[in-house]
Amino acid sequence: SISMKDEILRRLLAANGEAVSGQELADTLNVSRTAIWKHMQGLQEEGYTFETVKKKGYILTGVPNSLSPMQIELFLNTERFGRTIHHFDVVDSTQTIAHKLAQEGAPDGTIVIGEEQTAGRGRMARPWESAHGTGIWMTIIVRPDVTPQQASSYTLVVAVAVSKAIKALYKNVEPAIKWPNDLLINGKKCTGILTEMQAEADCVQALLVGIGINANQVEADFSPEIADIATSLRLAAGEEINRAALVATILQYLEQYTEIFVKESFTSIKKEWEQASCTIGQRIEVTTIRERFEGVASGITDEGVLQLRQDDGTVRTIYSGDVRI
């Protein structure tokens, strides 16, 4: 059930920059003009801005750049993903919170969002920079009906879904997927994905899908450690990023691709992954926990495993590691 205020907001957004008459709102929602006016005041206090056009009504001119559940729900078009939202101002890591919630039985599609992370992390406990209010720092709890082995390619599914969402919203931005878990724009990282698992021998209890997206940072916002390797969507798109709309769009693509993944396996998504990838066909250097290899990334398997053709012609199978192009 949505509140009167939400419904007014929904209509103002749907009007797409056109004026919405206060009288018409009052008539169709069956309340007084004064009630409408009070709700408009409430919205203003939350950071929405309006222009009032005489005899025409209200035009929505600005929305607060917040990731509150209400903001996200305005754009949300999914069945399960994002239907339960835990939103925090400051957290250590959304992964840690999601692990706890998943153990307590949180439903499929539950999301955890922090405006800031003080201990955001990447793979192998590397730090993930998560400054306040600038990016999207979110973990999605996914409970797919797959085996732990099948789940190992899920990171690639997430990469495809996020890249689709970005392309859908920002036509001039085309992120490239770097195997296994990065999205790059002009060679710089704008997104990192961290998939963790709660599982029993042959059954996945939950995947904790951490997605970190640099949204509204400008160059000066990045620390010296990552200033040369990181970029943001705003820098690429040349416009302020509506984080709530992006979260909702990602959830929509992810729900859709997860369904394909569970019903048909990663094989059905592989072609799209290859099209969006900047890794295949390239000469690369791979660092695994133990060794370092060089060669040409010749492809990925139906399980999402990277194949590296070394200079002596042997093909090496890489399950996890860091790629340098």
As annotated, the binding site for biotin includes 117, 121-123, 189
User: How far apart are CB 190 and ligand BT5 at their closest, in Å?
Assistant: 7
Nearer Cβ to ligand BT5 (214/279): 214
Q: Is 79 helix (H, G, I), strand (E, B) or coil?
A: coil
Q: Which amino acid is at 227?
A: A
C-alpha 154/C-alpha 158 separation (Å) is 6
324 binds ligand BT5 (CB under 6 A): no
Q: Which of 152, 181, 249, 258: binder of ligand BT5 (CB under 6 A)? A: 181
Give the x/- contact pattern for ligand BT5 in 193-212, rule: CB under 6 A. Answer: xx---------------xxx
Q: Please report whether residue 154 would count as binding ligand BT5 according to CB under 6 A.
A: no
Q: Which of 99, 189, 234, 270 binds ligand BT5 (CB under 6 A)?
A: 189
- Nearest distance, CB of residue 175 and ligand BT5, angstroms: 13
Candidates 214, 211, 256, 212; CA nearest to 235 is 214
* Token digits of residue 9: 């907001």
CB atoms within 10 A of CB 168: 13
**Chain residue whose CB lies nearest ligand BT5:** 192
Shortest Cβ 18–ligand BT5 spacing (Å): 37
Strand order in the sheet with 176-178: 85-91, 111-117, 136-142, 203-213, 188-200, 182-185, 176-178
121 binds ligand BT5 (CB under 6 A): yes
Q: For ligand BT5, give the closer residue by CB, 36 or 211.
A: 211
* First-to-final CA distance of the chain: 50
| Rounded-to-integer distance, Cα 202 and Cα 132, Å | 39
Query: Which position has the token pair 């690429």?
Result: 236
Q: How far is the CB of 134 from ligand BT5 (least distance, A)?
A: 9
Q: Whose Cβ is closer to ligand BT5: residue 57's or residue 114's?
A: 114
Decide: is 277 part of the binding site for ligand BT5 (CB under 6 A).
no
176: three-class secondary structure by DSSP = strand
Q: Does 321 bind ligand BT5 (CB under 6 A)?
A: no
DSSP assignment of 46-74: TT-EEEEETTTEEEEEE------HHHHHH
What are the binding residues?
Answer: 117, 121-123, 189
Q: State which of residues 10, 56, 100, 126 lies at the interface with ligand BT5 (CB under 6 A).
A: 126
Residues 209 to 228: which contact ligand BT5 by CB under 6 A?
210-212, 214, 226
Strands 111-117 and 85-91, bridge-based pairing: parallel
Nearest approach in angstroms of CB 315 to ligand BT5 is: 24
Whether 90 contacts 116, CB under 8 Å = yes
Residue found by looking up tokens 């010296």 in the block: 224
Q: Which residues fall within 8 angstroms of residue 7, CB to CB, at 6 or more apart?
A: 29
Query: Which lies closer to ligand BT5 via its Cβ, residue 14 or residue 227?
Result: 227
Residue 180: is the preceding peptide bond cis (ω within 30°)? yes
Task: Pick the stretch among 1-9, 43-51, 124-132, 277-285 that binds ligand BT5 (CB under 6 A).
Answer: 124-132
Window of 8-16, 144-152, 181-189, 251-259 that interacts with ligand BT5 by CB under 6 A = 181-189
Q: Residues 122, 144, 148, 299: which binds ligand BT5 (CB under 6 A)?
A: 122
Only one of the segments 4-12, 88-96, 284-292, 304-312 lies at the binding site for ligand BT5 (rule: CB under 6 A); that segment is 88-96
DSSP three-state, residue 159? helix
In three-state secondary structure terms, 29 is helix
The footprint of ligand BT5 (CB under 6 A) covers 93-95, 117, 120-123, 126, 128-129, 137-139, 181-182, 189, 192-194, 210-212, 214, 226, 229-230
